Amino acid sequence: MKNIKMKVARVEKDLSQAQLAKLVGVSRQTIGLIELGKYNPSLALCISICKALSKTLDDLFWEE
């Protein structure tokens, strides 16, 4: 399932995939795969992404 919420939050912060990747210590490809729903990130990576985007785990990763 695509992570549209993460992509929207990233765009709202005016960050590219590469910029977010650098902030959280992963490759740009990893961010792209998470947004496409083709990579299941660790909890630690999820938390790092949430902190970088000023969102909660529920905001970005909870499925409705």
Cα distances (Å, whole numbers) of residue 4 to 1, 11, 30: 9, 11, 15
44 contacts: CB under 8 Å, gap ≥ 6: none
Per-residue pLDDT, 40: 94
pLDDT at 64 over 90: no
Q: 5 and 46 in contact (C-beta within 8 Å)?
A: no
Question: For the chain, which domains are there?
Answer: 4-61 (1.10.260.40)
pLDDT, tens digit (0-9, with 9 covering 90-100), for 16-61: 999 999 999 999 999 999 999 999 999 999 999 999 999 999 999 9
Per-residue pLDDT, 1: 76
Per-residue pLDDT, 5: 96
User: For residue 19, how far is the Cα from the chain centroid?
Assistant: 11
Cα distances (Å, whole numbers) of residue 54 to 1, 10, 58: 22, 10, 12
